Structure 1
Amino acid sequence: MSLRNAYLLVFIVLLVDQISKIYIKTNFVLGDEVEVFNWFKIHFIENEGMAWGTKIPGEYGKLILTLFRLVAIGGIGYWLWDSVERKHSSNYLIVAIALILAGAFGNIVDSVFYGVIFDDSTSQLATLFSDQPYGKYFHGKVVDMFYFPFWSGNLPQWLPVWGGRDFTFFNAIFNVADVAISTGVGILIVFNKKAFHKH
């Protein structure tokens, strides 16, 4: 795969990711949910940008996370360029890296810019390019919306640790960027030998 095609893939994924996030942000109030099927819902949440809504504690936690991601994107971008330029990297590897780069880029856009281009989504629809933004540069929240609660119920008492508790599978809420990252990592794991095979 050429570098041009790899960048095109990154651009398409990034475009779809941002269009979906801007649509959700400007048409849903935080916590709103639309049921597509009983196992698939659009549920609007925001988080600080780490998996499962985890955050780095402290006043500068969010800034540290955002700066770390920017450095990581630079490293992934170089990895993509280097893999294409070497001419012998497999398309599996190039597609995987491009997807991971696109996903990381998609979430970093939220973190860097959303705090200054949107107002708050709590109890109101957010406005794009608001004159009363909810945050500042590098402190934006990542928009998530895809929710697949395939099964919800009470776990049997005999199960260790989780027995008797309410449980939902799958309870993560994510976005297009997260799908791209997960798919890229999945390709590297499932097609490991092909991805790292040298012609």
Structure 2
Amino acid sequence: MSIKKASLIIILILLIDQISKFYIKTNFVLGEEIKVFNWFSILFVENEGMAWGAKIPGEYGKLLLTLFRLGAIVGIAYWLWDSVRNNGARVLIIAISFIFAGAFGNIIDSVFYGMIFTDSYGRVAEFMPEAGGYAGIFHGKVVDMLYFPLYDGPLPSWIPFWGGDNFTFFEPVFNVADTAISTGVGLLLFFNKKAFPDKKEEEIKERAAGN
């Protein structure tokens, strides 16, 4: 698979991710929810930290997280380039492309959104405000909006400790970039043998093709 095709996958995912985030940021108030189905809602939340809302504590926690993401994206980009250069498996290149696009999509939020948007507390955010955004460079919040509460109700009473308590599955709110990362990782796990073929088997195939 060529780097051109991988780039097309990345650009397509980035466009869908950023268009959806821009729309939510400029049309929704923070916390606003629109129910599409009983099991799916558009819910606008912002994530200051990592997956599941985890944060690096301290004054410079957000900056360190963004810088770490920037370093990681460079590593993923090299992994993609090296896999293409070495004629890696198609599923491997597709998976890395998904992971790269997802990581890059969330980095855009972290690096720039604080500068180009006002906050969304009790109002719809303004794009490119004259007075400046809600935070400086590297301190933006990631926009999330996809919410799938597939089950929301009490747990069976026979379950120890938590029986009878209300339980929501799936509770986290995420975005297109997160979905791309999860899809890429899932492809690597599910098609592990195809993505990372055994070298001995490859050598045997090459010799057989040569004969």
Task: State the TM-score, normalized to the length of structure 1.
Answer: 0.96
Question: Deviation at 1:154?
Answer: 1.2
Distance in structure 2 (CA, Å) of the matches to 1:58 and 1:160: 37
Please tell me whether the aligned partners of residues 147 and 174 of structure 1 are also in contact (alpha carbons under 8 angstroms). yes
The alignment-based identity, stated in percent, is 65
Q: Matched residues in 2 for 1:173 and 1:122: separation?
A: 18
CA distance in 1 between counterparts of 2:20 and 2:49 reads: 17
Supply the distance in 2 between the matched residues of 1:85 and 1:96 (Cα, whole angstroms).
16
**1:38-85 Cα distance to aligned partner (Å, 9 max, x none):** 111000000113111111110000000000000000000000000000
Q: Is the 8 A contact 1:49 1:107 kept in 2?
A: no
Instruction: Check the 8 A contact 2:42/2:147 in 1, yes or no.
Output: yes
Q: State how 1:61-72 maps to structure 2 within 5 Å.
A: 61-72=61-72
Cα deviation per residue 1:93-137 (whole Å; 9 max; x = unaligned)?
A: 000000000000000000000000000101000011112311010
Q: 1:115, 1:139 within 8 Å by CA — same for their partners in 2?
A: yes
3-state SS, counterpart of residue 143 of structure 2: strand
Alignment partner of 1:191 is 2:188: no
Which of the pair has more CA radius of gyration?
Answer: 2
SS at match of 2:159: coil
Whether 2:10 is the aligned partner of 1:10: answer: yes
Matches within 5 A, 1:50-89: 50-87=50-87, 89=88
Residues 49 and 111, structure 1, Cα contact 8 Å, conserved in 2: no
What's the C-alpha RMSD, in Å, of the aligned pairs? 1.1
Could you tell me how far apart the structure 2 residues matched to 1:158 and 1:69 are?
A: 43
Q: Whole-Å Cα distance in 2 between the matches of residues 4 and 76 of structure 1?
A: 16
Gaps of 5+ in 1: none
Unaligned regions of 5+ residues in structure 2, if any? Answer: 203-211
Q: Which residue does the alignment assign to 1:122? A: 121
Contact 2:31–2:43 (CA<8 Å) still a contact in 1? yes
- Aligned-partner residue type, residue 135 of structure 1: A
State the shift of 1:7 in Å: 1.0
Counterpart residue type for residue 63 of structure 2 = L
Partner of 1:37: 37
Contact in 2 for aligned 1:40/1:149 (Cα 8 Å): yes
Letter of the aligned partner of 2:177 in structure 1? A
TM-score after normalising by structure 2: 0.91
Q: Residue 91 of structure 1 corresponds to which residue in structure 2? A: 90
Displacement of 1:8 in angstroms is 1.2
**Higher mean C-alpha deviation, range 117-126 or range 130-139:** 130-139
Counterparts of 1:136-175 in structure 2, within 5 Å, are: 136-175=136-175
**Equivalent-residue separation in structure 2 for 1:179 and 1:135 (angstroms):** 26
Task: Report SS of the residue matched to 1:31.
Answer: coil
Question: Is contact 1:42-1:145 (8 Å) kept?
Answer: yes
Q: Tell me the residue number matched to 1:26.
A: 26
Runs of 4+ in 1 over 3 A off after TM superposition: none
In structure 2, the partner of 1:180 is: 180
Alpha-carbon distance between aligned partners in 2 of 1:46 and 1:184, rounded to the nearest angstrom: 23
Partner of 2:135: 135
Aligned residue number for residue 209 of structure 2: none
